[in-house]
Amino acid sequence: MQGFQRTVSCGLVNETFLNKTIHICGWVNKRRDHGGLIFIDLRDRSGLMQLVFNPAFSTAAHTTAHSLRSEFVITVSGKVVERTSDTVNKDLPTGIWELQVESIEILNKSKVLPFTLEEAADVDEELRLKYRYIDLRRIEMQERFKLRHNVIFAMREFLAGQGFYEFETPILTKNTPEGAREFIVPSRIYPGNFYALPQSPQLYKQLLMASGMEKYFQIARCFRDEDSRTDRQPEFTQLDIEMSFINEADIQPLIEKLIHFVWKKIYNIELPLPFPRMTYKEAFSSYGSDKPDLRFGLKIQDASSAFAKTELSFLRAVLDKGGRIGGLHVENREWSRSDLDGWVDKATDCGAKGLLWMRFKEDGVIESPVSKFLPATFLHDISACIPNIKPGSVIFLVAGAYKDAWEILGRLRLAMAKEYNLIAPNQFNFSWVTDFPMFEYDEKAKQWTFVHHPFTSPQPGWESIAQGDVQARAYDIILNGVELGGGSIRIHDSAAQAKVFDMIGLSKEDALSRFGFLLEAQELGFPPHGGLAIGIDRLIMLMTGTTSIREVIAFPKTQRFHDPMMESPSKVTDAQLKDYGLKLQAKIQQ
């Protein structure tokens, strides 16, 4: 059987093919019947090429062309000619040429699609995902996956160039406490026992350091059985990295160089290095978030001391309970009274119980719902907390427990940036957030838990300070206010590891039964090491300007973690259950 002998892809036809006979293949994108002449836009993943069927070139081809419909798959051959000047399409790279078709073969027909490619972006997402292979035919989608491929390829190229080895670690693994719930897989050979799908290859990559592999990376699929939230997927992809004999000062610049390399390859942009660094404490106090969006200012400022002597009862109550009053200072904006009041409602949407605004006018006049209750010294007092207050300045204040109030202000800051277009388009703003707390107290479980994962190394001196003050050698990389990835320097010493397990309430027996292999490896020549993982789906989402990772995953699940195409998850037969020694509870059985 002869091959297709494609000369070139549709979108790559250029002047070198002028007056030559070529063979191309693809899908019928559009068909226009102009009486004697039939025009087809033929599409493959590279783009479009116009075909002309004229009985003068071939009556057989012209006859066949009558039967063509959208999405038929065809192969044609014919001569590339220039279009007449009135039919040139400047929007298409191939828009000055067309193919005079001399022969055609229909490779496959298509019924009418459930939605046209033009409609796809607007149809219900369930339907798009049920027919994902049609959705993916759109040039816009093809471009996204081309970018995804190019980014991953560049990552591989960079890391291989730096001496990293690419690994695959097991998908059938063992349950580990990394924060999220795991998917479990029953074992047929060991009835009553389960594998877990990895939340990340964390322990395997650490053990590869114990194996002396020194520099590991993996394009790793990770699985988390979390409750469905707006933009989570039960499986997603990370660029997972681990290295031996390193500190923060080695890994962070390496990641910066990796991102620099990718940006240079993809956009031909030289990103300025190093990326700014900020501690978790600084990030939270200025932005109310551990993933600050630094594309605009509007920092949170602590205005508590301006109210130290306030008689306003709601503020007094907050301060007396050890709470704080934080403010956002907006300059150079015209506000109507209803704009200002409107932000009170928006603050409620951000979780606030209330929002106080103050507008500063000429001659020290302050307009505010509480202006009557402000002391004569107030302008002076507030200026000591919030610099550069001028006529026209507006301050929005939120009072409450520090964490709550600052988180609300953080959300308000983002809402204001959105509302007032404070973010210039096409910016890529990277930063690092470091020095996270190592532990946090879980009020529900009434016990301490880890913040990153329990294999993260605490900062020196941790044994002699209060548990809540211990900081981790953990770092996150942030892009445009999104946590792109994170990692840490790890514990490589079994005594320290045992102590951390103990501090999060894992008994010796539990620690041994779950992590005995790690504790043992830490006594058998484990080198110092650390690493990081970058969320590839999130990265591609930000690079393509899309707003959901589902747009950049070829076959994502819906927001309810369902696959409408294959209809998974799905039931299994009783015989299958029996094979695994499983029985469904009566209330689940149908």
Where do contacts with ligand ASP occur on this chain (CB under 6 A)? 200, 202, 238, 486-488, 531-533
**Short-list 98, 96, 94, 77, CA closest to 34:** 98
Residue closer to ligand ASP (CB basis): 168 or 331? 168
Find the radius of gyration of the CA atoms of the chain: 30
Question: With DSSP H G I counted as helix, E B as strand and the rest as coil, what are the percentages for the chain, rounded to 5?
Answer: 35, 25, 40
- In the complex, least distance from residue 280 CB atom to ligand ASP, rounded to whole angstroms: 16
> How would you write 447-472 as a 3-class SS string?
EEEECCCCCECECCCHHHCCHHHCEE
| Minimum distance of ligand ASP from residue 241's CB (angstroms) | 7
Of 283 and 416, which has the nearer Cβ to ligand ASP? 283
- Residue 25: name the closest of 43, 39, 13, 12 by CA: 43
Instruction: Give me the least distance between CB of 39 and ligand ASP, in Å please.
Output: 52
CB atoms within 10 A of CB 277: 14
CA distances from 487 to 198, 202, 510 (A): 16, 10, 25
Of 439, 433, 440, the C-alpha closest to 285 is 433
**Residue 389: CB minimum distance to ligand ASP, A:** 42
Burial 210-239 (b: 16+ CB within 10 A, else e): beebbbbbbebbbbbeeeeeeeebbbbbbb
Min separation Cβ 440 and ligand ASP, Å: 16
Pick between residue 197 and residue 355 the one whose CB is nearest to ligand ASP.
Answer: 197
Report the residue number, 40 or 239, with the smaller CB distance to ligand ASP. 239
> Do 27 and 75 form a contact (C-beta atoms < 8 A)?
no
Would you say 71 or 240 has its CB closer to ligand ASP?
Answer: 240
Q: How far is the CB of 178 from ligand ASP (least distance, A)?
A: 6
Residue of this chain nearest to ligand ASP (CB atom): 200
Report the residue number, 314 or 517, with the smaller CB distance to ligand ASP: 517
Closest CA to 255 of 458, 527, 484: 484
Residue 443: which residues within 8 A CB-CB, separation 6 or more?
none
Closer residue to ligand ASP, CB minimum distance, 484 or 532: 532
Beta carbons of 328 and 409 less than 8 angstroms apart: yes
To ligand ASP, the closest distance from the beta carbon of 251 in angstroms equals: 10
Shortest gap between Cβ of 292 and ligand ASP (angstroms)?
19
Closest CA to 50 of 85, 86, 2, 11: 11
Rounded least distance, CB 175 to ligand ASP, Å: 15
- Residue closer to ligand ASP (CB basis): 41 or 537: 537
Nearest CB to ligand ASP, comparing residues 400 and 531: 531
386-389-391 Cα angle (round to 5): 160
